[in-house]
Amino acid sequence: MSNVEARLGPVAPPSGQGPPFGLRDRVVRTPPAEERSRSGRFPTLRLLLGDIVSGTIAITIAVATVVAIWPDVRSGFADWLWSEMSVMLPLLIGISAILGVYRPSTKNLMERFRNRAVATLLFMLAAAVMCARDGFSVELAAVPLIGALALVLGSWAEHLIIVRFAQSGAWGTRTAILGAGARGRKFAQLLLAQPAWGLRPVGFIDDGTVDGAAETAPEGDPGPALPLLGTMAEWAGGADVEVVVVPDGHVLPHDPDALYRLGVRKILVVSQLGELASVGLQVRHFDRYVALELGGRAHPRGRIQKRAIDLAVALPLAALTSPMVACLALMIKMVDPGPALYRQQRVGRDGKPIHVLKLRTMYRDAEQRLEQVLATDETLREQWQRYFKLTKDPRILPHVGDFLRRTSLDELPQLWNVIRGDMSLVGPRPFPAYHIDAFDREFQALRATVTPGLTGLWQISARSSGDLGVQRAQDCFYIRNRSLWLDLYILIATLPAVIIGQGAK
Tell me the residue type at 119. A
| Burial degree of 300 (CB within 10 A; 0-12, 13-18, 19+) | exposed
Q: What pTM does this model have?
A: 0.75
Q: Report the C-alpha gap between 26 and 461 in whole angstroms.
A: 10
Nearest to 455 by CA among 430, 429, 474: 429
Residue 23 backbone dihedrals phi, psi, to 5 degrees: -75, 150
Q: Please, which residues have CB within 8 angstroms of residue 472's CB and are 6 or more apart in sequence?
A: 16, 439, 443
Domain boundaries, the chain: 5-21+172-272, 43-167, 300-361+396-499
DSSP per position, 334-402: HHS-S-SEEEEEEE-GGG-EEEEEEE--B-TTHHHHHHHHHHH-HHHHHHHHHHS--SS-TTBPTTHHH
Residue 149 has a pLDDT of: 94
pLDDT of residue 268: 85
Closest CA to 247 of 321, 317, 304, 189: 189
pLDDT given at position 57? 94
Transcribe 168-231 into DSSP letters.
TT--SEEEEEE--SHHHHHHHHHHHH-GGGSEEEEEEEE-SSTTTS--PPPTT--SPEEEEEEE
Distance CA 363, CA 395 (A): 6
C-alpha distance from residue 228 to each of 170, 182, 215, 240, 340 (Å): 21, 14, 10, 14, 58
Count of C-beta atoms within a 10 Å radius of residue 444: 14
Check if the beta carbon of residue 458 is closer than 8 Å to that of residue 466.
yes
Q: What is the pLDDT along the chain (505 residues), one digit of tens a residue?
A: 333 333 333 333 444 444 444 444 333 344 444 444 444 456 888 899 999 999 999 999 988 888 888 777 666 667 777 888 888 999 999 999 999 898 877 788 888 899 999 999 999 999 988 887 766 677 788 899 999 999 999 999 998 888 888 777 778 888 888 888 888 888 888 888 888 788 888 888 887 765 555 555 554 444 457 888 888 777 755 557 888 888 877 777 777 777 777 878 888 888 887 777 777 777 888 877 888 887 656 666 778 889 999 999 999 999 999 999 999 999 999 888 888 998 889 999 999 999 999 999 888 877 777 877 788 777 778 877 777 777 777 788 888 888 888 888 898 999 999 999 999 999 998 999 988 998 999 999 999 999 999 998 887 875 555 677 888 888 988 998 888 888 999 999 888 877 766 545 5
Distance of alpha carbon 54 from alpha carbon 62, whole angstroms: 12
CA-based angle 272:300:346, to the nearest 5? 75
First-residue to last-residue Cα distance in the chain: 48
- Position 156 scores a pLDDT of 92
Which CATH architecture group holds 5-21+172-272? 3-Layer(aba) Sandwich (3.40)
pLDDT at 325: 93
Q: Give residue 127's Cα distance to chain centre.
A: 30
Query: How many residues does the structure list for the chain?
Result: 505
Per-residue H/E/C for 9-32: CCCCCCCCCCCCCCCCCCCCCCCC
486/426 Cα distance (integer angstroms): 9
Cβ contacts of 16 within 8 Å, gap of 6 or more: 469, 470, 472, 473
Burial (CB count <10 Å: 0-12, 13-18, 19+), residue 246: buried
Nearest partner of 204 among 168, 222, 186, 231, judged by Cα: 231
Strand partners, 5: 227
Beta carbons of 242 and 264 less than 8 angstroms apart: yes
Give CA–CA dist 3/26, Å, rounded. 30
Cα dihedral across residues 275, 277, 279, 284: positive or negative: negative
| CA-wise closest residue to 154 among 63, 73, 89, 232 | 89
**262 vs 181, 267, 305, CA distance in Å?**
19, 9, 48
Residues 6+ apart with CB under 8 A from 365: none
